[in-house]
Structure formats: C-alpha cells, structure tokens
C-alpha cells in the first residue's frame, strides 16, 4: 500500500544523534526542493490527546485545533516524516504539509525543521539538537519570538504565518 506521507527518494530514514530515527539526505538536495509531504488523518486536539499515549508525537498541526496524524499504531510509520527539531534547521514549510529545503543540503546531513515553524501549543521540552545556537528548551509558543519570525520568514506553516499577519 502507498505510504500516507511522501518522503523524497533523495532522503533516507535512519538512527539520529538528535532523537530516535531521523530523516537524512541520501544525495545532495537543492534549495526549494520538496523533501517530504505529511500525510495522515485530519483530527482535532481532543482526539489527538487520546492517541498520544499510544502514538507519541506523530502529528503536524495545520490549523487551530486541527492536526494531521496517524490514527493507529499500524499507520504510524507510514505517516511519519521523521524530521527531528533543530534550532539550526535546513528545511521549512510551504503551505502546511510540504517540507522544502531552505538551502542546499549535502548528502548525509540530517534534515530538520524548527518546531517554531509548525507548533502552537503549551508544550516545553529540553532540546537535544546540538546546534551552536541551540535555545535549550523548545516551547509551543516559540513561533511568537521576533528573532525566529524574522529568521524563518517564508518558511512558517501558513496557519502560523496568517496569525503573524493578523
């Protein structure tokens, strides 16, 4: 069966120094290339909270109280894009579900996005990204930080870009 998400044939999934499995460039990827497209079921926050104990963090937020996510353990791997968070990311969003290269990426580099580009929630977690500019803690309100809004202009999920404009 077709996987729920699309991962570019130029990518590969393997163990990551950041966390669990990560998405890596298998060959060089150019600026603007689509590296992944998130697929799954469209669910609200209430359903997501029920799935979390079994599925962990497997969703991408696409609007206020709407997420795209696997619905079962069987669907999880097929819906994952395996992009870990980095405070020095090399991929960003086009729209809400397309992930594109923010610069040329060499073969072997891990593909990461900053969750500030996608998340608006109450979470706090310690960051293990190892970037020189690591901010130490990732929060669900990082999208509100002016320096990140400036740095990732054009690469935020469109629902967050709309909030910034409002």
Choices 25-33, 79-87, 102-110, 139-147; region in contact with ligand SAM by CB under 6 A = 79-87
- Cβ atoms of 36 and 6 within 8 Å: the answer is yes
Size of the site for ligand SAM (CB under 6 A): 16
Which positions from 6 to 35 touch ligand SAM by CB under 6 A, shown as an x/- string? Answer: ----------x-xxxxx-------------
Q: Establish if 84 lies at the interface with ligand SAM (CB under 6 A).
A: yes
Q: Could you tell me which of 99, 86, 79 has the C-alpha nearest to residue 156?
A: 99
Q: Establish if 113 lies at the interface with ligand SAM (CB under 6 A).
A: no
Question: Footprint of Zn ion on this chain (CB under 5 A)?
Answer: 87, 127, 129, 134
Mode of pairing for the β-strands spanning 124-126 and 84-85: unpaired
Transcribe 79-127 into DSSP letters: H----EE-SS-SEEEETTTEEEESS-B-TTPEEEE-GGGT--SS-EEE-
Binding site for ligand SAM (CB under 6 A): 16, 18-22, 56-58, 82, 84-85, 125, 127-129
């Amino acid at each position: 069966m077709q996987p729920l998400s699309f991962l570019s044939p130029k990518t590969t999934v393997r163990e990551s120094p950041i966390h669990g499995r990560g998405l890596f460039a298998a060959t060089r990827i150019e600026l603007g290339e689509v590296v992944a497209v998130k697929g799954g079921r469209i669910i609200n926050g209430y359903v997501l909270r029920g799935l979390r104990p079994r599925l962990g963090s497997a969703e991408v937020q696409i609007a206020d109280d709407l997420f795209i996510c696997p619905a079962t353990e069987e669907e999880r791997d097929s819906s994952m894009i395996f992009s870990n968070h980095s405070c020095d990311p090399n991929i960003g969003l086009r729209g809400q579900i397309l992930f594109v290269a923010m610069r040329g990426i060499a073969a072997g580099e891990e593909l990461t996005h900053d969750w500030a580009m996608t998340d608006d929630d109450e979470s706090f977690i310690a960051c293990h990204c190892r970037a020189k500019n690591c901010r130490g803690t990732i929060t669900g309100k990082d999208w509100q930080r002016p320096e990140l809004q400036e740095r990732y202009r054009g690469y935020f999920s469109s629902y967050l870009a709309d909030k910034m404009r409002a």
